[in-house]
Chain A
């Protein structure tokens, strides 16, 4: 299946290569560089690039291209999903996934990759199992290892590999037993010029950080589970309980994991918590354009909208902008034509406003297109869909865990057309 893996940084250096079958010369990456050149932007590089003898499948994350080389038919998503899993694993191991970190931990990276694939077929991809096979580096462990000569490599088969719960390692012990759940909802929306919603959907996830001793068996129930239109689970969730009772019942993996992702469909009316009033006009005759936007709260259920950030890609004809914000900072990059305005909190009494003029290239006619406005924001303590966790129970262990649930609403791909 997966023959080889090359990691390539943004300046085109291959800084890591790993082969699971015979060695494939790194010159195969030339085809990739060609495609990269043609695509001009990193995100337009086609994920699958055919070459005369190989196929190059790549994902681009954290400014690194992960390029897998395959030789025969294989479902492309299989490889792509695996590459993403590799990135996630690195992130899990080292906290961040960057070129520097990978280079610094190259031996651990290599050992992990060795365990993840055998002959190009995935062997162990659960991070709980991997962490038992190859322990993630910590400062303490590095120090201890240098002194005592012990290693990062486990010599026993991780029990998870054979157990009924492969995602959880055994012998977990904590002095403070805690389970945190973050319900995070993102609103994807397209709002048209007049402020009416063209499409709006809510994507939610429940991310968990569970640090519980032993083999806890948790159940999480919702006040209004019917809201969830489409769900996908971490493999630990018992599908049947969900089908019959709409309860999430699971033995959690140790540490951070995504318990559930869900979708609240466009059929349910989605509350849009902010509005944008904009007036962007170019005049044919003058080389000046007018620009004004105001951001205000809409259906926020009494919560504050914070972390507001407005970005907009201005047309090529705009040379510069002179704007005054009523609050926050704004920047305009005359090369990329990207305007961004870090608004911060919205005070309903005094709405944030950004106003001024744009200078246009003299002599050319006004641009055809109006820029779209992208919005980011956060609302703490609110799940905009109204989803509420009812209770979390633990069975199978005696201690009383500390439980915490946090709600948050964020803008996903939130776009206002002008």
Chain B
């Protein structure tokens, strides 16, 4: 009947009706889903690969991918269809053709695949490029000889600026060439900046990769504290770094160290990943948490605790993974989770495996201050019905007792009480733990030992019996009367005991023979004789060994006199440790960490380098294609040197115009931002997560409509007029003419709903005057960098009367030095775009002391987000700075009726069919 049914499917597939074909394919796919073999239908199915009906086609694809490997020759028949599909004008069809083509695991088509991938990697559609990235690992697993060529494609795709591609290509990178860390350098900053807009799964992959990258490129932020590592108890509290710096143990070794300054790129990574702790995706949160754990300065790691605790409310399987990671972290950084102690309390409804992990965390978190609360909690757990959990609790109590001396006696007493518990498992576990505890201070506890000796009558669990016997043997001097009696009883039941118990009986006998031979000589002989004929060879061996050792004969005896030393040597007490200790040598959040064993394909997390590799490898020539850049230069020459410095500054700034800007922005500005951030932290409040001006435009805020074409360069040569001695506050205006078309697009941005910060569009708004809360001031030149001169700017968001198309920028200069600064001049280097500044009113002035003079230039950014480089020169000094407006500052509040709006919107939709779709994703929307 099976073949019959297949025949009828074949018939349906051969028919002319799409509906019949579809029905047949649906039934075939259902067979595949159930795991039934449908391979004999291959010839009939493959014929339909070019079917017009899209659903039939898709199902044929599903079938092909499943069986192509088994029927390689026939599968080749379909290849030409896909090759045609690769040229289709519809991007979905191009992408799915590539997807299927690359999923057909037939080695003979490797060259075709390679060609298709290379072509798709330069496709216009980012979706197709993403598919190309996905195809790379597929080809690699089919034929690893293609590695070099594939790396080229990866390199090309890594340079892609769309968020859609980023995650997939990093995935390909991880699978094909994770060792080629050098490919990341140039893309590092871009990846950091794109991160928030990448889809969630890509974020996980990128974050994990960047963690590894950062470990090879930056210095340990905790190197100063690493000296204190020997004292872990203290180390964590290093959240107040000042404290730990005071008690540096070895001043000499510190001298050698350079003061640690975090690489701005390192900071960039930490800053850009932090908001992702708020993600709804547990994998993303975990990825950020492990990044912070492995890369952040100790004082900053704490932020991840709250997010991890949040994940504990998720599904059981998520909890399970998170708790294992928390267990590892809580050993290294206990203080981090202490405030959340109660979140780890156990409910009777938790599954056992969750209970045991929570217990592990609670034990790790125990310290002198919270131990009493924790022990009280443990008392409840001991009465649980879940006996595995009770056993784990008893062990946990044992660990608390060894770690925290102050509660040792309390714990011991509690455990002794458990010895009278009705549940044998509980008693047995307690015995084992008590044994370990007693080893720490046996002399004080002979009462307990006596009590335990009595237990041998009742308790049957072998491990517990063995523990008791060992204890009695080891401390037989404390219980001289009972010990021989126990041996007597045990020798009676010897033959029926488990092996581990037998071994301990022999041990006990030997020890008693050495300390109290009078009472136990015969018993020992008896036991040894029993053991001699035991079935287990270990026990026979042990008996023979011990007999030779303790009973002197003529032949042996060399060791005899040392027997007492051998058996009754001081034995160190066992250390009860967490099984999660040192698991953090595996990257947290990884499968290997979870299994505590290296999984296939695990990439080792490298140690921090001793010397930081050259940070300049990450510098990128800013591609100025979509970005419109402005440069202005300010100069403050001495009155007498005006003419020279003018020419000097203009020449030097013109040559530096294009690349100095990028450098200035990357090195200078970032550290300033950092300082800014620090300032905010000092205030105790975290600064709002701003897309920092520099990152805002460079990578994901391009407005392609403004492409290179409209970017024409404009230049301003200003005649320097000495206005020294004039009043210090005078507005200085830059006016730029605009091409109307550019402005139009500017307007269009405003008209798109997703671009409009809603504050700008209240429903009833007729007005043009903006509503906003606070004015954010941006720093242009820090006073340290500017040798006393600091420059700040802000957007005053007022219409700029001379030209409504311009954005007004208020610039504030302040002179922080004692000396005078004269002749303020802003000079213009060559600019990228073709706009000119029509009018430039220049001021020369002298400033002494703290003196501010707001300047109000209007700048038109023409809808693009621009870097505005300002180079300013004082005497012989010249500063390069850049202004980059946040997106919102470039928008004008506009009132328009709905019809107008709709019209604009439809027009803009047309415009937006070409531009890069990534240009305006979430990041700026928030």
Contact = CB atoms under 8 A, between A and B. Distances in A.
Interface string B31-63: 011110000000000000000011100110010
A162 B127 contact: yes
A415 B286 CA distance: 29
A277 interface: no
A240 to B, nearest CB: 4
A342 interface: no
A226 B140 CA distance: 51
A58 B600 contact: no
Contacts of A365: 422
B383 interface: yes
Interface of A: 1, 14-19, 21-23, 26, 41, 43-44, 46-48, 50, 55, 58-61, 70-78, 80-82, 84, 106-107, 109-111, 114, 118-119, 121-123, 125, 146, 149, 151-157, 161-166, 188, 190, 192, 198-199, 201, 203, 215, 217, 219, 229-245, 249, 251, 258, 261, 263, 266, 313, 315-316, 365, 368-370, 372, 374, 393, 395-396, 398, 413, 415, 417
Contact of B134 (A121, A162, A188): A121
A72 B600 CA distance: 5
B655 to A, nearest CB: 38
Contacts, number: 281
Given A201-B343, A235-B922, A118 B134 contact: yes
Residue of A19, A151, A370 with most chain B CB atoms under a 10 A cut-off: A151
B921 interface: yes
B353 A157 contact: no
A59 B349 contact: no
Interface in B872-926: 898, 917, 920-922, 925-926
Residue of B93, B688, B691 with most chain A CB atoms under a 10 A cut-off: B688
B352 A44 contact: yes
B30 interface: yes
A296 to B, nearest CB: 22
A234 to B, nearest CB: 6
Interface in B265-320: 275, 278-283, 285-287, 306-307, 309-310, 313, 315-318, 320
Nearest to A373: B348
B62 A235 contact: no
B29 A82 contact: no
Contacts of A84: 315, 317-318
Contact of B591 (A55, A157, A243, A251): A55
Interface residues of B, number: 114
B798 interface: no
A18 B63 CA distance: 11
Contacts of A149: 18-19, 22, 53
B290 to A, nearest CB: 8
A413 to B, nearest CB: 5
Nearest to B380: A417
A41 B380 CA distance: 23
Nearest to B278: A232
Interface in B323-380: 342-343, 345, 347-349, 351-353, 377, 380
Contact of A164 (B125, B283, B591, B754): B754
B589 interface: yes
Interface stretch (B196-204, B504-512, B658-666, B709-717): B196-204
B484 interface: no
B599 A251 contact: no
Interface in B4-29: 18-19, 22, 26, 29
Contacts of B62: 110-111, 114
Contact of B137 (A60, A119, A229): A119
Nearest to A21: B141
B348 A107 contact: no
A395 B286 contact: no
B455 interface: no
A73 B278 contact: no
B310 A230 contact: yes
Contacts of B99: 118
B926 A239 contact: yes
A23 B66 contact: yes
B735 interface: no
B274 to A, nearest CB: 11
B92 interface: yes
B592 interface: yes
Given A157-B125, A236-B922, A368-B383, 14 more contacts: A44-B351, A55-B595, A61-B315, A70-B591, A76-B594, A80-B317, A107-B26, A146-B19, A151-B22, A161-B127, A203-B313, A232-B278, A233-B278, A240-B691
Contacts of B317: 47, 58-60, 80, 84
Contacts of B756: 217, 395
Given A76-B321, A81-B283, A232-B310, A395 B348 contact: no
B822 interface: no
Contacts of B1: none
A75 B55 contact: no
Nearest to B26: A107
Given A190-B347, A369-B385, A78 B201 contact: yes
7 contacts: A26-B35, A55-B595, A76-B589, A121-B168, A230-B306, A230-B307, A235-B200
* Nearest 10 pairs of A and B residues by beta carbon: A238-B926, A72-B601, A151-B55, A396-B753, A47-B317, A199-B342, A240-B926, A157-B92, A122-B201, A73-B602
A72 B175 CA distance: 10
Contact of B280 (A146, A235, A313): A235
A190 to B, nearest CB: 6
Contacts of B309: 230
Contacts of A81: 281-283, 318
A261 B279 CA distance: 10
Contacts of B59: 107, 111
A75 B309 CA distance: 18
Contacts of B898: 398
Contacts of B306: 229-230
Contacts of B322: 77
Contacts of B601: 71-73
Contacts of A315: 385
A413 B349 contact: yes
Given A230-B307, A232-B310, A395-B753, A77 B600 contact: no
A236 B200 CA distance: 12
Nearest to A123: B134
B47 to A, nearest CB: 19
Contacts of B591: 48, 55, 70, 73-76
Contacts of A43: 316, 351
A316 B385 CA distance: 8
Given A23-B66, A73-B599, A81-B283, A238 B201 contact: no
Contacts of B343: 199, 201, 266
Given A44-B353, A73-B590, A119-B103, A152 B55 contact: yes
